[in-house]
Amino acid sequence: MELPTVVGPLGNATEIEKYGTVLCVGGCYGIGSIFPIARALKQAGNKVITLIEARSSYLFYWEERYKEISDQFVHITRDGTKGYKGHVDRLPEIIKSLDEPVDRVIVNGCTYCLKRVSDATRPLEIPTWVSLNPIMIDGTGMCGVCRVSVGSETRFACVHGPDFDGHEVNWEELLQRRKTYMPEEVVPLRTSKSEEHPHQHREGCHG
Ligand code: FES
């Protein structure tokens, strides 16, 4: 494998403190990226509940690693092949089923996953921190492409983030900005072998 360019790490490290009971949610690539956060939270003395979600159970990985650092480990699959069936929209009932209240939620995953978790925890008033992944160009705070609205402020995810209060993020604006290059993003798909299968389509992680 060849990596032509790598930049990072960008922004600020996730704040690790003793919060009490922390629910770590990982979807998509977040299944991998939430692991060091969950491990650090455990080492800091938190009770860690890990929730990973995917389209189907065959997409899960690192489950043994998660079991080692999690006090409780929960799965969601959209096809119901493991754990709860559905999406992170099922979070309220999952949280209610836990033995104790959740003091903080930390989420890594696609923008839809981050938004849905934030929407689910807002009425429950559980502080929720999301790792934002807007489109980035320079990654140094100069181009402004990664700007997001958080509360009344404009923030650059590459230098001020990536972690923000999910209840304060302007999700509609962020989702709109994420779609900016969608036509260009599908060009390689149209010109790839998948063209031979006209009914085949890319299923996004929010699909
Ligand atoms: S990527 Fe350019 S300001 Fe963040």
d(CA 106, CA 100): 17
Helix, strand or coil for residue 8? coil
**Could you tell me if 42 and 105 lie in one domain?**
yes
- Lining ligand 1 with CB less than 6 A are 136-139, 141-146, 156, 158
Q: pLDDT digit string (tens) for 165-200?
A: 999 999 999 999 988 888 877 777 666 655 544 444
Q: How is residue 108 written in tokens?
A: 């890594």
Is 60 exceeded by the pLDDT of residue 4?
A: yes
Residue of minimum CA distance from atom 2 in ligand 1: 143
Q: Is residue 44 part of a domain?
A: yes
For the chain, the residue count is 207
Query: Pairing relation of β-strands 104-108 and 84-85?
Result: unpaired
**Could you tell me if 24 and 122 lie in one domain?**
yes
Candidates 5, 12, 135, 142: which one to mutate for ligand 1, based on the most atoms within 8 Å of Cβ? 142
Pairwise pLDDT comparison (76 vs 3), residue with the higher score: 76
**How many CA atoms does the CB half-sphere of 192 hold within 13 Å?**
9
**Could you tell me if 124 and 142 lie in one domain?**
no
Q: pLDDT digit string (tens) for 96-154?
A: 998 889 999 999 999 999 999 999 999 999 999 999 999 988 889 999 999 999 999 99
Atom of ligand 1 nearest to the CA of 156: 4
Q: Which of 206, 125, 134 is nearest to 167 (CA)?
A: 125
144 alpha carbon – ligand 1 mean position (Å): 5
Q: pLDDT digit string (tens) for 31-62?
A: 999 999 999 999 999 999 999 999 999 999 89
Res 7: pLDDT: 80
Contacts of 62-69 with CB under 8 Å at 24 or more apart are 62/31, 62/32, 62/35, 65/35, 66/35, 66/38, 69/35, 69/38, 69/39, 69/42
**Could you tell me if 38 and 103 lie in one domain?**
yes
Predicted TM-score of the model (pTM): 0.85
Res 14: pLDDT: 93
d(CA 195, CA 187): 11
Q: Is residue 55 part of a domain?
A: yes
